[in-house]
Amino acid sequence: MTVINIATQIPSQITTLEQLHAWTGMALFRINADTTAIEGAGYTERVAQCGNFYVAADSKTRLITRTSLEVSPDYLSATGKPWMFVQPLSNTALPSSFSSN
């Protein structure tokens, strides 16, 4: 699992849930770019993806993220918040460039 110290590794300039989501999507993509998962019979996909896409219809650029996270079957019978049952993608350390403003 990629362990982070919330107090010191999330850049202080991140102030919204949207910025935090973009940051985590980019970080997971950076450290798991080649990791794939089986998502259906005969179907595999990268576990983390993100990219900027220009939408000509409204002349805006959008960051699109996609993450495929394994969930422990314990979530069905245990108590706790659902996100606590998500399994690690890798043991890769967070690159230092993600910890600075």
**pTM score of the predicted model:** 0.89
Domain positions in the chain are: 34-87
Residue 98 structure tokens: 């993600």
Cα distance between residue 22 and residue 33, in whole Å: 16
Structure confidence at residue 1 (pLDDT): 74
Closest to 33 (Cα-Cα) out of 95, 87, 86, 85? 95
Q: Map residue 51 onto helix, strand or coil.
A: strand
Return the number of other C-beta atoms located less than 10 Å from residue 62's C-beta: 10
Look-up of token digits 């979530």: 75
Per-residue tens of pLDDT for the chain, all 101 residues: 789 999 999 999 999 999 999 999 999 999 999 999 999 999 999 999 999 999 999 999 999 999 999 999 999 999 999 999 999 999 999 999 999 98
Alpha helices in the chain (DSSP H): 6-9, 17-31
Whether 55 contacts 49, CB under 8 Å: no
Structure confidence at residue 21 (pLDDT): 97
